[in-house]
Amino acid sequence: MSLKTILVADDDPDVRLSLNVRLKANGYNVIFASDGLTCIEEAQKHVPDLIILDLGLSAGDGFSVLEWLKGSESLFTIPVIVVSGRDRNASRDRALKAGARAFLQKPVENIHLLFVIQRFLEDVPPLASSGVTSMAAQA
């Protein structure tokens, strides 16, 4: 079984480093982008299994990147998890309507992020009795 590849698009080098450590420790291959244009280029080049996308990127903010990805014939099926420090109320609905599979508010707890990633990459069935089904979309 090959490693799943996750593209992390975030302009903060500390966030990229932290996610790199967390994701690699859990068996994922990680590639990075620090701005919107690089995210699109890396997505086209590597076709990752999942994208973690910050909204506050230069050279194309996260919303424009998300809209581009969802409009791409070859990339629209890649699950995108938006992880942002922006106002949750203003950004969450817009991100989900644009095609994000989940919205997580920074700072994100390691266990929560890994659960959402695993859910989308490994088709983990939702746990209806625990309320987890709505947690990923609303987180």
- pLDDT (0 to 100) of residue 110: 87
Architecture, CATH, for domain 5-138:
3-Layer(aba) Sandwich (3.40)
pLDDT reported for residue 130 = 33
- The pLDDT score that the predictor gives to residue 135 is 38
What is the predicted pLDDT for the residue at 134? 32
C-beta of residue 7 within 8 angstroms of C-beta of residue 32: yes
61 neighbors 39 (Cβ within 8 angstroms): no
Q: What is the mean pLDDT of each run of 10 residues along the chain (139 residues)?
A: 90 93 95 96 97 91 94 96 85 93 92 94 51 38
